[in-house]
Amino acid sequence: MRYSTQVKPISYLKANAAEVLLNLAEKREPLVITQNGEAKAVIQDVASFEQTQETLALLKLLALGTRDMEAGRTKPARAVVERLRAKASDR
């Protein structure tokens, strides 16, 4: 996606807020808002924002897992499963 096609001045946003919101929901592409010719903000629909946040959370988990592996903080899967089964049977 090329953000250069999705750049509007803040005055456009002020004058066309309802239309901008409809376009965000339909196209699901972020919109760059400029002020005095300089990019100042990016707006996007809520569904895309939530998806981005979920993706970032998964990437963070992967990075933490990779860090744990590199540091040798791992356990065999069999040992983990056995421990979980033992806890479940205690209940």
Structural domains in the chain? 3-44 (3.40.1620), 47-90 (no CATH)
Spatial distance between the Cα atoms of 54 and 34, rounded to a whole number of angstroms: 27
Residue 35: its pLDDT value, please?
97
10-residue averages of pLDDT along the chain (91 residues): 84 97 95 96 96 97 95 92 91 77
Question: Are residues 3 and 27 in contact, defined by beta-carbon separation less than 8 angstroms?
Answer: no
Spatial distance between the Cα atoms of 32 and 83, rounded to a whole number of angstroms: 50
DSSP secondary structure code for residue 1 in this structure: -
- Would the pTM count as exceeding 0.75? no
Residue 1: its pLDDT value, please?
64
Question: Are residues 43 and 27 in contact, defined by beta-carbon separation less than 8 angstroms?
Answer: no
DSSP secondary structure code for residue 6 in this structure: S
